[in-house]
Structure 1
Amino acid sequence: MLKKHKSYAGDGSYPTSYYAASRNISRTPVRLQGRIKTDVCVVGAGYSGLSTAIHLAEKGYKVVVIEGAQVGWGASGRNGGQIVNGLNASLATIQCRYGEDTARFIGGLVQEGGKIIRRLVSEYQIECDLKPGNIYAAYTSAHMKELEAKQALWRKYGMDDHQFLDRGALRKLVNSDAYCGGMLDTTGGHMHPLNLVLGEARAFESIGGTIYEGSPVIRVDHVAERPTVYTEGGEVSAPIVVLCGNAYLGDAVPKLVSRVMPVSTQMISTAPLGEQLANSLIPSDMCVEDVRYILDYFRLSADKRMIFGGGTVYGGTDPADVVAKLRPNLEKVFPQLKGVKIDYAWSGNFALSFTRVPQMGRIGPSTYFAHGCSGHGVTGSHLFGRTLAEAIDGDASRFDIFEKLPWYPFPGGRLLRAQYSTIGSWWYSLRDAVGW
């Protein structure tokens, strides 16, 4: 049974989650009223929008960010908090589709998003419990071979920060019998995602930026020489507009609707486990994701809760019972947590592209967009914010490569795309079940 994904209540609240309950910055939202002009208008106060805004403001641009709900209300404030260096589409897939030059270009970028996060945290003193290390965990020998091939290709394109782990080595980092081995990315990591994006908003405002919240965009005039963004209470005119609404942009820009599909993923948080139990489960205190198609991902919070996520629902609807969906997977990985109290359960949407490759481009001479990180948006969105800022500031060399990558609409159109994608995912779920 599925239920409709909740929309913004308009009352200043966040969706119920561990992150919302433990956020360390409270904001007083200011809604857009009347007409204003600025150098750049960014739509969306998540990672991609704020990364774009910060990089532009640091270059001296006057930037206004328009947010329909609140800073970090969407995927940026609900995700797994994992700094994963890579895209949803593997480098092998990218090399096969687009050639070695494109694979080398993208391979050279995948670690940049994490570096941007660390720079922002350091320079602007953002308190978000940032910690190092990301582990890819394998269930089967086939998964191990997949990781070996992935490691070889990463090395081919200049990434040497991955350590292969046999069962014993992995067990020292993640105390679970579920896995036969894995791979460690020492440049990965994890953090409190909502506190990160709230800290980025504060950083942006500290260098002269302006954010209007509770101001849903209803229309964007991207044809005019000077685009205009219209909200329920006002409008912003700027020589440059950047659209970073991702899965929550809705129908405000019809040209972008067919490019991505909202996909829901679910998360739970246990009650605090205590130092001894928590440290016995993940002695390394690193984040973990398995390498199945329908994967699980998990980590410890700063107060020693297990944050566990997984599953996908195409079309952006939510399961009726998130705990019932995720608890069996949690207890499979950690039988020690059988029957553990779950304090929080929540869902959130990310924007999935048909190719699983992020998209950047223009829908008018001065209206840019970036979306479709397809579940890898923590690092990807920070990278694309810098790339968009470069293009707007006159260096579009990296932006142009992404803009030229082909994109395809989902089969079935908007009406049937979720159903067709669900049918396709059954095949991959079967592969996961038999260990292919």
Structure 2
Amino acid sequence: MKHSDTDVIIAGGGLAGATLALALARVAPALRVTVVEAFPLSADALPDSYQPSYDARSTALAWGSRLIFEELGLWSRLSEHATPIRHIHVSDRGRFGATRLNANEYEQQALGYVVDNRWMGLCLMRALLETNTQWQAPAEVADMAPSGQGVSVTVKAGDETRIMTAQCLIIADGGRSGLREKLGFQANHHSYDQNALIANVTTSDSHQFSAFERFTDAGPMALLPHGSPSRAGHQSALVWTLSDKELEGVLAMPDSDKCQRLQERFGWRLGRFTRIGDCNHYPLKLTTVDEPVRPGVALVGNAAHALHPVAGQGFNLALRGLMTLVEQFRLAAEQGRPPGDFQILRRYHELHRPDWQQTVQFSDSLIRIFGHALAPVAAARDAGLMGLDLLPGAKRLFARSAMGTGGRRAVINGPAASDKR
């Protein structure tokens, strides 16, 4: 095999890219991995202690994702600031349909967790600094072309341009991936004609580690427990679906009016809304790529599929895909084959495809079913929600989807990862 600068280049050092780099370091340590990230990385920037911010953005991790982070030796540190979800309440506003999931019914400590993105990133960076992973930051992958060694990757860092050779390029630069478009991957976009407003809120009643998924005539909204991992508090992470016009109106309101409008839409299950933090928002759409692999290159994470946040499945689906890819790279290394071998990448896609198809269908169908205001459809979905409580088998399947244990998840068979503090 001809010499290359590195074996795997990961374009993007966000949550997906950093997790992939750590998994490769744990499972296939012989592979040389280089992460190219637009933001600077410095060990000096990692604080000795983490102080959560009220306005921190967060991610919902399913129980299956906890198992993945345990395998990577990261969970003991992550769990220091991971708020457990012990109950999930799903309801249809103004109608009788509802279902409830409780962790103790499935003999689990939690159905999932809510973790600040910044804390997750800091944990990943600390772990990666203990590996042989190489970083090019701040820098970006500007282009890629096939070469004798696998791929030839153009990396730009300020005014400097460098050509790096690698056996495989992994594109993990997010849902707005410019590199995906530049390399000609065909992305399918379906707009929901809605926006997600993201904020943290405080309520007069404690969340009691409960997550609420509330479907309304204006779209779904979710409240996830946020804050202390051991003491049930009053702060929740809000995902509020709004039309363009509604979003414009809500953003123009003072905070007291935002809380009142939210109260009208959500109800009183958590008492009165007393505070809403900084509001961020983005348009909602379903993005998929039918063929996310080519010889020497693969899309992962949101670059490969971006979902509606209604069921909190996006990052959890990405994690399962990353582990499937890592397992194929491990097998390739054992066989003396380059990770960019198209058969290796195609096998990864074949294994991951049923999971993302099932997850996309699950998330998208919730939006379509609960988006109908017609009385017969509304009655049918309410009966369906009630039926979940009455039919243990159906409820168990629903719970497996919520917990991220229904899809295929690769088992790491590489060297045991030590769960370092």
Q: TM-score surpassing 0.5?
A: yes
Aligned pairs (5 A) from 1:193-342: 193-222=117-146, 226-233=150-157, 234-235=161-162, 236-250=164-178, 252-254=180-182, 255-260=184-189, 265-270=196-201, 277=204, 280-283=205-208, 285-290=209-214, 294-302=219-227, 304-311=234-241, 321-322=250-251, 327=259, 328-335=261-268, 340-342=274-276
8 Å contact 2:69–2:75 — kept in the other structure?
no
> Is the radius of gyration larger for structure 1 or structure 2?
2
CA displacement at 1:42 relative to structure 2: 0.8
CA displacement at 1:52 relative to structure 2: 1.5
Which residue identity lines up with residue 428 of structure 1 in the other structure? Answer: G
Aligned-partner SS, 2:286: strand
Which residue identity lines up with residue 345 of structure 1 in the other structure? Answer: C
8 Å contact 1:128–1:195 — kept in the other structure?
no
Aligned-partner SS, 1:289: strand
8 Å contact 2:61–2:113 — kept in the other structure?
yes
Structure 2 CA distance for partners of 1:326 and 1:366, relative to 1, 3 Å: farther
8 Å contact 2:9–2:168 — kept in the other structure?
yes
CA displacement at 1:372 relative to structure 2: 0.9
User: 1:384 maps to which residue?
Assistant: 321
- Provide the aligned length of Structure 1 versus Structure 2: 310
Structure 1 residues 287-321: Cα deviation after superposition (integer angstroms, max 9, x where no partner): 3333669321113432643321121679xxx8575
**Aligned equivalents of 2:284, 2:40: Cα separation in 1:** 17
Structure 1 residues 70-89: Cα deviation after superposition (integer angstroms, max 9, x where no partner): 78xxxxx97652224xxxxx
User: 1:138 maps to which residue?
Assistant: 91
Aligned-partner SS, 1:248: coil
Q: 1:368 aligns with which of 288, 295, 298?
A: 298
**Aligned equivalents of 2:174, 2:326: Cα separation in 1:** 17
Aligned-partner SS, 1:390: helix
**Aligned equivalents of 1:250, 1:320: Cα separation in 2:** 31
CA displacement at 1:256 relative to structure 2: 2.7
Aligned-partner SS, 1:256: coil
CA displacement at 1:41 relative to structure 2: 0.6
Q: TM-score, normalised by structure 2?
A: 0.59
User: 2:278 maps to which residue?
Assistant: 344
Q: Does 1:63 align with 2:33?
A: yes
Q: 1:49 aligns with which of 13, 17, 21?
A: 17
CA displacement at 1:281 relative to structure 2: 3.3
Q: Which runs of 5+ in 1 are unaligned?
A: 1-35, 72-76, 85-110, 152-159, 165-183, 408-420
CA displacement at 1:243 relative to structure 2: 1.1
User: 1:117 maps to which residue?
Assistant: 69
Structure 2 CA distance for partners of 1:288 and 1:380, relative to 1, 3 Å: same
**Aligned equivalents of 1:117, 1:55: Cα separation in 2:** 9
8 Å contact 2:317–2:356 — kept in the other structure?
no
Q: Which runs of 5+ in 2 are unaligned?
A: 42-54, 229-233, 333-343, 358-363, 382-421
CA displacement at 1:267 relative to structure 2: 0.9
CA displacement at 1:351 relative to structure 2: 6.9
**Aligned equivalents of 2:252, 2:206: Cα separation in 1:** 20
User: 1:129 maps to which residue?
Assistant: 81
8 Å contact 2:65–2:316 — kept in the other structure?
yes
8 Å contact 1:82–1:287 — kept in the other structure?
no
Structure 1 residues 228-247: Cα deviation after superposition (integer angstroms, max 9, x where no partner): 33243234321011112231
Q: TM-score, normalised by structure 1?
A: 0.57
**Aligned equivalents of 2:252, 2:124: Cα separation in 1:** 31
Which residue identity lines up with residue 82 of structure 1 in the other structure? Answer: A
Structure 1 residues 123-162: Cα deviation after superposition (integer angstroms, max 9, x where no partner): 5623651132251421266744xx69xx9xxxxxxxx968
What CA RMSD, in Å, does the superposition of the two structures yield over aligned residues?
A: 4.4
**Aligned equivalents of 2:128, 2:13: Cα separation in 1:** 11
CA displacement at 1:383 relative to structure 2: 1.5
Q: Percent identity?
A: 11
Structure 2 CA distance for partners of 1:225 and 1:308, relative to 1, 3 Å: same
Structure 2 CA distance for partners of 1:406 and 1:295, relative to 1, 3 Å: closer
8 Å contact 1:266–1:345 — kept in the other structure?
yes
Aligned-partner SS, 1:82: strand
Which residue identity lines up with residue 205 of structure 1 in the other structure? Answer: L
